A and B are shown apart, each in its own frame.
Chain A
Amino acid sequence: MSIRNSFTIDGERVDFEPGQSILQAALAAGVFIPHLCFHPEFSAHGSCKLCTVVVNGRNGSACTIAAMPGQEVRSDTPELNQRRRMLLQMLFVEGNHFCPGCEKSGNCKLQAMAYELEMFNDHFQHFFPDRGPVDASHPEVMLDRNRCIQCELCVRASRDIDGKEVFSLAGRGPASHLVVNAASGLLGDTPFAATDKAAEVCPVGAIMVKRVGFTAPIGRRKYDGASIRDQIEHPAPAQEG
């Protein structure tokens, strides 16, 4: 690849293909930038802000900024990682994330990022949100809105891949919450299915397929053995299920 299509992250050269974001190029080159709302199969969302980097002296989300020749990107710095820890703590206290009691533990990207970034406590005052009871109306899937981090991956998956538009984010500010496409407000009354793409993209324990819990015991789950940094999902869609 020509020198014209490369930039640096923390001084390290990264090649890119035109059209890639900084995050896409970095991950493809094996350089880890923490992220949550980005998923290789969907267009960028830019909401979690975990991927915030400094590009030529300016703050921005690596998942939404196009890679350009000669950019100087700073990412793995104490200051930026401290910011990311605070963002993670914000996500933790905003929802009800009590990992030891959550079936997603070990497979959860929020938890995995917290381990990776060495977030040792929640720090801030908990919101203890009440976004309604767990919705178990669907025969195959349950929905716990209080664990939702509003990444809209399920929204994007259901709309763009499943062609169903089952999910939307409603409300404003801290009152934002997930709603489903049913007059009753219940997941069971939507055309949602456990085989939908939207059923597998949730990074946290908000959308959970029933009856598969504890098939792998805690301790032997995805992020229990190795950090999320070393298990990046790669941009090529063919590699996904």
Chain B
Amino acid sequence: MQGLDDTLGQILTAHRKDPRRLVQILRAAQSEAGWISPEIAAFLADELCMPISRIHAVVQFYAFLYDRPVGRYRVLFSDNIIDRMLGSVALRQHMQRRMKVGRGAVSADGLVSIDTTSCTGMGDQGPALMINNRQIVRLTTRRIDEICDLMRDGAPLEDWPSHYFTISDRIRRAESLLGTSYVPGKALAQAIELGPQGVLDDLRRSNLRGRGGAGFTTAMKWELCAEAEAETRYIICNADEGEPGTFKDRVLLNSFAERIFEGMAIGGYAIGARHGVIYLRGEYDYLRAPLEMKLAAMRQRGLLGTNVLGVPGFDFDIEIQMGAGAYICGEETALIESLEGKPGRPRIRPPFPVTRGYNDMPSVVNNVETLCKVVEVMRIGGRAYALLGTKQSTGSKLISVSGDVARPGVYEYPFGVRIQTVLDDCGATDVAAVQISGAGGMTLAPHEFGRRIAFEDVPTSGAFMVFNRSRDMFEVARNFMHFFAHESCGFCTPCRVGCALSASIMDKIAAGLGAQYELNELTRLGAVMRTSSHCGLGQTAGNAVADTLQKFRPDYERRLMAGDFAPAFDLDAALERARQVTSREDAQAHLEGVA
């Protein structure tokens, strides 16, 4: 234990023994010890002067923190519907058989544990899995066999063939963001020439709107933050990209990182913030080291640090903090809670982050793509920027295309592009449905493919999942409902209970025990979740079920039984405990026996 205590001591020192860095500290402790044992929890509680219950609360909230031992190899299969369509379930079962371990369990020798996890952001190159925080894509049975052999041999991950871990960008269509050259520092220099107010004015002229989903006007967000009285302000980059089927931020983080940093620095200059934080989802841990290197290079160039670009008093730097497997932490106030070392439960709003955010200081939270667009606005000017796209949705939008298409990947279009155009470009044929903007977005049927991607018509944070006519839209909706039940933070009643009830009703229908009654129940539950939930997760969790019920009803109806109702409750099975206690197995101890 002495050695471990020393290691933990070093981790604590690196984090200045700051309780607000608890999530980061726990991640680091776990990468040393494999899991957060009771001893580690007690040690950290002591050193951080906090109740041990707070440690438990955090560890048990995040999917990638463990309060019990896991395998030396922790395998997590991405469980989005797209991975499933690519065969992930059979691959997982194959691995489970070969390693002799059940789902969610640890093998007897402690070597491996196998489970599923929410979409890992590899929809264009799945099926995908994570192993000890590394991502492996394009899985095949052969690849799984090789992985099993490597695990059996106990080979350290560093010695595995490096091409396993190669993740491609797959940029299929480029416009003003992906398709233009970039000179580091040019946009920032332009911002300094304009002055803080000038930047805000130009941003307003561009009518740039946030790419994270809600579409809030970036200029207004920045102005509100700049106006709030405070000593410190923060610029936070939301790189949590957890929306199933979205991966465009991953591409930006991988190949356009300097623009993200520069966008943050421009924000810092405009609103008077000295600190920037990137909240990077745990799934993208492999991007962390390259990002740190690029940050160091930016500092060297004088684009970050003190007196940035030689402007006296303009100090701005960026740090990266990691998420730990919680989709809800993409919601901006849950993200801030997580940054402060707490479970990611959304705050009561107002106050909004722009007036009281990270460390109770005014904070701007922007999506990765939004920050890249800021650089573009500075480069070409707000007025020119506003010429692309539609009036209410200016500029271009990155779309993550996956599913039944010939060419999955990232596509950049001017706002206003029709769904059908995207489908034609990505080689999708015989399309039955497109799921836009992730699991809580819209499910569009063919008669809607003439609609346009824009805030005023079909808004999207970037996901574009395509399903052809061979697909079962009931199973798509069932997968999404389970995603929400798994990711609900649990704070409010309608979402915490409503998602779980809806998921179990979907399972009941899948088992052939559903009737018209269950369809009505789904609708009733969806209405309460939409109208009463605390945040966007619960408010949108029922969308896919509602949309598919309306547009793809036959996929539900062919599963329904003839009668009015069948109980999900299996009375005879419920008597099992009683039979065990009384050591009875005779006919009289079974329901049929009595009848």
Contact across chains for B490 and A174 when beta carbons are under 8 A apart = yes
Contact across chains for A174 and B488 when beta carbons are under 8 A apart = yes
Residues of B within 8 A of A168 (CB): 51, 53-54, 56-57
Nearest chain-B residue to A149 (Cβ)?
B493
Nearest chain-B residue to A44 (Cβ)?
B348
* Interface residue? A165 (CB, 8 A): yes
- Are A93 and B497 CB-contacts (below 8 A) given A83-B532, A181-B52? yes
Q: Mark B58-102, 1 if CB is under 8 A from A, else 0.
A: 011111000000000000000000000000000000000000000
* Interface residue? A241 (CB, 8 A): no
- Are A47 and B61 CB-contacts (below 8 A) given A64-B348, A168-B51? no
Closest beta carbon of chain B to A136's beta carbon, Å: 19
Inter-chain CA distance A87–B491, complex, in Å, is 13
Closest beta carbon of chain B to A228's beta carbon, Å: 18
* Interface residue? A176 (CB, 8 A): yes
Contact across chains for A173 and B487 when beta carbons are under 8 A apart = yes
Interface band, chain A:
35 or more
Partner pick for B494 among A90, A170, A179, CB 8 A cutoff: A90
* Interface residue? A169 (CB, 8 A): yes
- Are A90 and B497 CB-contacts (below 8 A) given A47-B492, A64-B348, A83-B528? yes
Partner pick for A174 among B52, B496, B524, CB 8 A cutoff: B496
* Interface residue? B207 (CB, 8 A): no
Residues of A within 8 A of B533 (CB): 49
- The secondary structure that dominates the B interface is helix
Q: Which of A54-98 contact B (CB under 8 A)?
A: 59, 61, 64, 66, 83, 86-87, 90-91, 93-94
- Are A165 and B496 CB-contacts (below 8 A) given A59-B531, A86-B524, A124-B501? no
Most buried by A among B62, B350, B493, B533: B493
Contact across chains for B490 and A180 when beta carbons are under 8 A apart = no
Residues of B within 8 A of A90 (CB): 493-494, 497-498, 501
Q: Mark B343-386, 1 if CB is under 8 A from A, else 0.
A: 10000101000000000000000000000000000000000000
* Interface residue? A171 (CB, 8 A): yes
Partner pick for B42 among A52, A66, A176, A183, CB 8 A cutoff: A183
* Interface residue? A172 (CB, 8 A): yes
Q: Which of B482-515 contact A (CB under 8 A)?
A: 485-494, 496-501, 504
Residues of A within 8 A of B54 (CB): 165, 168, 181
Most buried by A among B53, B496, B501: B53
Contact across chains for B492 and A49 when beta carbons are under 8 A apart = yes
Residues of A within 8 A of B53 (CB): 165-168, 170, 179-182
Partner pick for B496 among A46, A86, A124, A173, CB 8 A cutoff: A173
Inter-chain CA distance A86–B488, complex, in Å, is 18
Q: Mark A181-194, 1 if CB is under 8 A from B, else 0.
A: 11100000000000
Residues of A within 8 A of B326 (CB): 172
Q: Which of B18-54 contact A (CB under 8 A)?
A: 38, 41-42, 51-54
* Interface residue? B534 (CB, 8 A): yes
Contact across chains for B51 and A181 when beta carbons are under 8 A apart = yes
Closest beta carbon of chain A to B440's beta carbon, Å: 15
Partner pick for A150 among B41, B488, B490, CB 8 A cutoff: B490
Closest beta carbon of chain A to B330's beta carbon, Å: 15
* Interface residue? A42 (CB, 8 A): no
Residues of A within 8 A of B348 (CB): 44, 46, 64
Partner pick for B532 among A87, A167, A182, CB 8 A cutoff: A87
Partner pick for A175 among B41, B62, B490, B531, CB 8 A cutoff: B490
Residues of A within 8 A of B573 (CB): none
Residues of B within 8 A of A180 (CB): 53
Residues of A within 8 A of B531 (CB): 52, 59, 83
Residues of B within 8 A of A173 (CB): 485-490, 496, 499-500
CB within 8 Å: A-B pair count: 125
- Are A49 and B534 CB-contacts (below 8 A) given A169-B57, A173-B489, A183-B38? yes
Q: Mark B462-493, 1 if CB is under 8 A from A, else 0.
A: 00000000000000000000000111111111
- Are A91 and B497 CB-contacts (below 8 A) given A83-B531, A173-B490? yes
Contact across chains for A86 and B61 when beta carbons are under 8 A apart = no
Nearest chain-A residue to B567 (Cβ)?
A125
Inter-chain CA distance A48–B494, complex, in Å, is 8
Closest beta carbon of chain A to B381's beta carbon, Å: 37
Inter-chain CA distance A181–B501, complex, in Å, is 31
Contact across chains for B528 and A87 when beta carbons are under 8 A apart = yes
Partner pick for A179 among B56, B500, B524, CB 8 A cutoff: B56
Inter-chain CA distance A183–B498, complex, in Å, is 33
* Interface residue? B155 (CB, 8 A): no
Inter-chain CA distance A173–B497, complex, in Å, is 8
Residues of B within 8 A of A167 (CB): 53
- Are A94 and B42 CB-contacts (below 8 A) given A52-B531, A86-B528? no
Nearest chain-B residue to A178 (Cβ)?
B53
* Interface residue? B568 (CB, 8 A): yes
Q: Which of A82-120 contact B (CB under 8 A)?
A: 83, 86-87, 90-91, 93-94
Residues of B within 8 A of A83 (CB): 527-528, 531-532
Inter-chain CA distance A44–B492, complex, in Å, is 13
Inter-chain CA distance A169–B56, complex, in Å, is 9
In the complex, besides A125-B569, A168-B51, A174-B485, 15 extra interface pairs with C-beta distance below 8 angstroms are A47-B534, A61-B534, A83-B532, A86-B528, A168-B54, A169-B343, A171-B57, A172-B60, A172-B61, A173-B487, A173-B489, A173-B490, A174-B499, A180-B53, A181-B51
Residues of A within 8 A of B (CB): 44, 46-50, 52, 59, 61, 64, 66, 83, 86-87, 90-91, 93-94, 124-125, 127, 150, 165-176, 179-183
Closest 10 A-B residue pairs measured CB to CB? A176-B490, A90-B497, A181-B51, A168-B53, A173-B488, A170-B57, A181-B53, A170-B60, A168-B57, A171-B60
Give 7 CB contacts A-B under 8 Å. A46-B534, A83-B532, A87-B532, A90-B493, A90-B501, A165-B51, A182-B53
